[in-house]
Amino acid sequence: MPIKRLIRELSRFPGIGEKTASRLAAYILRASAEDARCLAESILEVKRLIRLCPVCFNFTEKEMCDICADPGRDRETICIVEEPDALIAIEESGEYRGVYHVLHGALAPLDGIGPEQLKIRELLQRIAGNAVQEIIVATNPNVQGESTALLITSLVKEKGVRVTRIGFGVPVGGDLKYADRMTLAKSLEYRRGME
């Protein structure tokens, strides 16, 4: 049955359960045939035109992504992220002017994701071929992200490159009494001096 197939396919998306997939399927059914065609065509177009940047592995429709092609970026600093959406979030802050390296995942041995499935080898080749001064590890603050950060740190330090980690802790505008134990522990661990 087509509706069940659509729900099954939509529920394969990360964060989309069967109930959300059912709501999305109902929305698609209520949409005009033109809207449904546009959605299907946009999915096919993305699959046809978007590729990985050969330098940083961000998504791009060009030969090289806009960040790697920008001569004004600081190539001595590389920020390592797990996925392109983390790169987008950092870019939106407007504070970072270096370049990136997208791993396309994090270590998760139980899911069959080891160093070979990530873009770590390419990172090491990139460091060896350039005058990189600092690597900023911006993996997620969870078990997989921390494991990935430790592995990258051990591999990169052998190359004589400075390795830093993004700060974690209480968000700006947050209230300490509402922060959980882990957040407070990381806030203390990653504290910095007042200047």
The reply to whether 2-49 and 72-189 are identical in fold is no
pLDDT tens-place string over residues 22-42: 999 999 999 999 999 999 999
Position 64 scores a pLDDT of 95
The answer to whether 79 and 90 have CB atoms below 8 angstroms apart is: yes
pTM of this prediction? 0.81
Q: Could you state, in order of their start, the residue ranges of all structural domains in the chain?
A: 2-49, 72-189
Rounded CA-CA distance 187/177 in Å is 13
- Mark the ranges of the chain whose per-residue pLDDT is less than 70: 193-195
Is 29 strand, coil or helix?
A: helix
User: Which helix (DSSP H) or strand (DSSP E) does residue 176 occupy?
Assistant: none
How long a stretch of residues is the chain?
195
Q: In this structure, which topology does domain 72-189 adopt according to CATH? A: Dna Topoisomerase Vi A Subunit; Chain: A, domain 2 (3.40.1360)
CA 153 to the chain's CA centroid:
18
Whole-number pLDDT of residue 168: 77
- pLDDT value at residue 188: 77
Exposed (0-12), middle (13-18) or buried (19+): which is 100, by Cβ within 10 Å? buried
When the candidates are 1.10.645.10, 1.10.1740.10, 1.10.8.420, 3.40.1390.30, the CATH number that belongs to 2-49 is: 1.10.8.420
The C-alpha atoms of residue 137 and residue 145 are separated, in whole angstroms, by 9
- Rounded distance between C-alpha atoms, residue 63 and residue 141, angstroms: 32
Q: Which pLDDT belongs to residue 142? A: 87
Per-residue pLDDT at 130: 79
pLDDT of residue 194: 62
Q: What is the pLDDT of residue 66?
A: 96
Question: What three-state secondary structure class fits 52?
Answer: strand
